[in-house]
Amino acid sequence: MEKKTNSILSALILGLLISIGLSLSGFFIFKGIQSLKLAERYVTVKGLVERTVKSDRADWEIAIRLSGDNLADLYKQVSEQKTKVQEFLQTVGFEEAEIKSSSPQVNDTHARDWGGQLPPHRFIVDLSLKIITQKVDLIEETSRHLGELIKEGIAISRSDIRYQYTQFRELRPEMLAEATKNARELAQQFAADSGSRIGAIRRSNQGVFRIMSADALPTEDFNSGHNSLIKKIRVVSTIDFFLTD
């Protein structure tokens, strides 16, 4: 009788342990599903920041081109024109050290096979002057008066100005911090509207910087703005925030 009682008791204990085990298993599975769903609840927002800045450096290239049949005369003429351009630039306020000139480049057009149809002049001589300076306002103003040199017979074939903003690295941390702040504010607004709260950052793209001309449209993704004295720097940070109840 005692043996039978012990068997029944053992069976009851075993059944109880199995029942508890199944309950715990179900509990942890439930918690796991909750965690999985929580991990899937997030919002993706973009933080946008723009700064308008003035360029602090300019590279200005002025090209001279002459053509003719007497190479010696062309070399003399292009040298004289280079000197006149240099004197003009120094007169308006550029330092001699800011002005660099290239060596004349000669193109013998008759050295190519034209099928009997030769160009009117055999030689083309190119020479360029490059001004590298921080006097960006002087560059902007002087470039408007190149017509005065052309009136004097200077054969200017090209004028190319590239403006730069060199303090970008100093501005970068501040703009990234503000873009992150803006993204968080957008996420908080979304969470409030949906009856949730934002949690930790799930994933973050630290921001894509673009330098554009100041008049670039908001929809423009890229515009280098090399020719623009005033530039717009834009950063967009994409951040995922977890949502909690």
Question: Quick one: pLDDT at residue 18?
Answer: 47
Among the candidates 147, 164, 181, a domain finishes at 164
Q: Is the pLDDT of residue 52 over 60?
A: yes
195 — pLDDT class (breaks 50, 70, 90): confident
Q: Is the pLDDT of residue 147 over 80?
A: yes
34 — pLDDT class (breaks 50, 70, 90): very low
The answer on 145 and 73 residing in a single domain is yes
Give residue-wise pLDDT tens across range 87-106: 999 999 999 999 999 999 99
Domain membership flag for residue 29: no
Q: Is the pLDDT of residue 25 over 90?
A: no
Question: What CATH number is given to the structural domain containing 180?
Answer: 3.30.110.170
Q: How far is CA 218 from CA 207, 212, 230, in A?
A: 17, 10, 16
Helical segments of 41-196, H only? 71-92, 136-142, 146-151, 168-193
Q: What is the pTM of this model?
A: 0.72
Q: How far apart are the first and last CA of the chain?
A: 58
Give residue-wise pLDDT tens across range 120-140: 888 999 999 999 999 999 999
Question: Quick one: pLDDT at residue 208?
Answer: 77
23's tokens = 């309950």
- Which one has a higher pLDDT value, 244 or 162? 162
Question: Residue type at 74?
Answer: L
Question: 150 lies in which domain range?
Answer: 57-164
